[in-house]
Structure 1
Amino acid sequence: MASELTYRGGGTSTAAGAGAGGYSPKPSKPLAWLPRAARYAVAEHRPLFALAGMLIAAAVISIASPSASSSSSTSTSTGGAASSYSNNNNPLARFPVEPAHHRDVATRHFVGGKVPLGLKRKALRVLVTGGAGFVGSHLVDRLLERGDSVIVVDNFFTGRKDNVLHHLNDPNFEMIRHDVVEPILLEVDQIYHLACPASPVHYKYNPIKTIKTNVVGTLNMLGLAKRINARFLLTSTSEVYGDPLQHPQVETYWGNVNPIGVRSCYDEGKRTAETLTMDYHRGANLEVRIARIFNTYGPRMCIDDGRVVSNFVAQALRKEPLTVYGDGKQTRSFQYVSDLVEGLMKLMEGEHVGPFNLGNPGEFTMLELAKVVQDTIDPNARIEFRKNTQDDPHKRKPDISRAKEFLGWEPKIPLREGLPLMVSDFRKRIFGDQDAAATTTGNQQG
C-alpha cells in the first residue's frame, strides 16, 4: 500500500501539488517582522489614540498649572505674614493659618466690612457654646444679623433662655440644651467656645465642675472641630495672668498664678484650655484662635454674680451700700460687650492665631468705678469697705497694641456711655412691671 504521507519540503513536489490543486503557502504580509502584539496594535490604530490621549492630558495640565502656582504663591505670602507676626511678636503662634473651608476663602475677608460689587458673602453655620450667656447671647445677635445660621449649645448653669428668646422664631437659629463635658456631633463651619462660668461666685460654687468644663469641655469641642474641619475660637481670660507682676499685661507675659488657690479652677483651667488649643493647632493642623477677655459689662449680665460692675449697679438700684473689697485701690479695665463681640468676630475671621488681649485699656480703681456708678444711678449711695478676697489681682490692664495692629480692633464705648445702657437693663429686670408702672404714673402726674 502506498504511503498516504506526502513530502512537502521539496520544490518539485510543492510545484506539482500546486498545479494539481493541493497546498499553497500564503503570501507574506507587510510588517511581518514585528512581534504579534505590535502588529495587532498597528492594525487597530491604537498608537493614534494613545498619542491623542497624551496630547489632551498635557493640555489639561498646562492649563491647570498657572492657577496652582498662583494659589501656592498666595499661601506662601499668607504664611509669610503669619510667621512674621509669630516670630517677631508671639512665640505661641508659629504656624501660618489656612482657611478652614476653601469655599469660604473668597468671602471670609469681607466679614464685618463692605462686600465688593457682584460678590455675595456665603452664610456660615456657626456653633456658639455658652450662647445663652451674657457675652454669648450678644455674639449670637451679631451672627444672625449678618445672615449666618447659629446653633447654641448651653446647659443653662449661668446662661438664661430669656437672653435668646427673641430668636426662637428665626429659622436660622437652633438651641440645644447640652453640657459640653459630654461629646456632641454637629456639622458647622466655625465654633465659638464660650462655655464656662466666668464669675467668682459661679466658678467657686463647684470648682471641680469648672475645671472639667475648661479641660474636658474644651477637649470635646476641639475634637469636634478636628472631625468636621471647623475653625475654632477659644475665649480665654485675663485671669491667665493671675496677680500680674507686669503692668500693663502683654500676650507674651506668662503670668503669676497660684495653682492651688480658690480661683485656680478657673485660672489654671483656662491656661490648660489654651495649651490644648495650641496642641491641636500644632499636632492636628487645626485652625484655632485664642482671645484673652478682660472685664466686660453690659445688658444681660447676671445680676448677683459677684463681679464688681454688676454688684455696684444692683446695689445702687436697691439702695444698698456699694461694697468695696480691700482699700479700693486695685484697678480694673472695663469694656462694653458690643466692643468685645466685634473683637471676637474680627479674630475669628482674621488670619492670626493669637492669643490676643481683648479689653479696654482705660484703667479705673474700684473707688473711681464706685463714683461713676454714684453719678449714673444715685449720688447718695454710700460705700462700705470689706475684707479683700483671696488671690484678688491688684492691677489689671490690657496691652492691646497687637489687636490694633493685626485685627484692626480697639474698643470705642467709654464707661460713662456704656454704663447707663446696663443700668436700664438691670432696672427692668430687678423691678420689672412695678418699676415700669411707677415710671408711667410719674409721667402722668408730671
Structure 2
Amino acid sequence: MMKDLIPIDVLLSSFGSIEGGIIILNPEGKVVYLNDWVLDHGVMQTEDYLNKTLDAVFWGSISGQLLESIDNAMNSSLSRILSHKIHKNILPLYRNKEASVRLPLHISTLISPLKDKVGILIRIVDYTSLVKREKQIRVNESLLNIERNYFKKASDLSVSLESFIASLIDDISWNVSSISIKFSFLKEGEGFRYPKDNNSAVLKRCEKLIQHKEFEGDSLVEMVESLGNEYKTNLFLVDFSDRNIKGVAEFAKNSEHILDVSFSKTITKIRDLISSLIEWKMSFKKLSYMASHDELTGLFSRSFLMKKFDGYKREMDVEGLKASGVGLSLFFVDLNKFKEINDQFGHQFGDKVLIKISQRIKSCLSEDDSAFRIGGDEFLVIRKEATPGDYIETLKSKISSPFLCDSDVISISASIGHACYPNDGHNLDELIHLADKEMYSEK
C-alpha cells in the first residue's frame, strides 16, 4: 500500500502549511489517506475509508471530470486543475454537513500523479473564505467611497435632508445587494420612511414608541431590540446628538448564498455610516443656519446682510427690474426706550421681548422679504419695492400692539427710517446710513 511506499508525514511536509483537503489514492484508485479537513467537510457513508473508491467514500455525486482526470493522471501522468466555478460537483463537500440544507463549498482541486506512478494526489483548496473576504473588501471600499461622497454632498444646502437620506440608502443598497434596508427617520415625532412605500409593521411600532416618548435612553434601545426579537428581524435604533431625533434601521438578508458578505459585520458598518452621515448633514445645516441667523431671534444676522443684499441686486439685474423702475426698500427699525425695559426687568426678560418683536416683524414679511437683527434692539427689513407706501405704519402698528410677557403687559414703540436702492444709494453702507439718519430724525 502507498502508506508503506511514501510516509504521509513526509508527503504532507512537501505541501507546506496549507488550508484544505488532501486525498491520496493508490494506483487502483482506492483511498489510502484523507486528512481531517476532508473528514470535517464530507458527508461520509463510513469512517472506514481505506481501500474504498471515491464513490464509496463520499455520499453524493462526484464530478465525471474528476474521475476522468484521475484516470488521465494514472495512465498518462497528466495533472489537471478543476474549479467549482466550472464543474459544480467536483466533490460533495459542504460548509456544514449537519445542516438540513447543505451549502456546498466552492473548491478547486489539483489532481496530480505521484512520483513513479505510486498513486494519485488530490489536493483541495476551499476558496469560499477567500472569495468572501475579497467581496467584503470590495463592499468596505464601496462604503468608504459612499462616506467620502456624502460628506461632500452634505454641504449642498439645496438638497433636503429627506432627499439626502433617500439617496444615501439607495446607494448603500445598490452596493450591498445581499442586504436590504428599511429606514425610518423621526425628528421631534415627525418623519419619513425609506423606501417610501415600505409598510414594515415593526418600524411602525417603533415610530409609535418614539412619538409617544414612552421610553428614554437605554430603555428605548432595549425596547427596539426586544421588538426585533419579537418580529425575528434585525432592528437597530440609530441615535443622534439631538435627543429629539431618532432613526430606526431594519436589515434583512436577500439571500443565504455562501459567498455573501458577513451579515453582522456589514450591517454594523452600514448602521454607523447612516448615523454619521445624517449627523453630518444636520450639523452642516445647523452650522450654516448659525452663520446666517441671529441665535436669539431667528432673523437673519448682520453678518449675512451683505450676502443677502448682493443676492437681491443680482436678481434685479437678471430680471431687469432695475431698468423698469422697481427697486429695493430698506427699513431701519429701532425700538424706543428698550433700555428701560432691560433696566427694570433684566436682560432675560428683555430677550423675551426681542423674540416677541421679531415674531411680529416676521408676520409683516411677504415671500420675497427678509428681516435682520443688526444690533441689540435694531432691525432691518428689505423689500422688493421702490416706495415704502403704508409699510412703515404697518410695521409700527404691529410692533407697538401690547402683548403679555411672563405676567407683565408690555407695549413698546419703534422708530423707522427708509432708503431705496438704487435711487438713494448704490451700496449697502450708503443705504443703511441714510435709513439710520432718517430713523434718528424721527426719534
TM range (shorter): under 0.3
Which of structures 1 and 2 has the bigger CA Rg?
2
Structure (1 or 2) with the greater strand fraction = 2
**TM-score when normalising by structure 1:** 0.26
**TM-score when normalising by structure 2:** 0.26
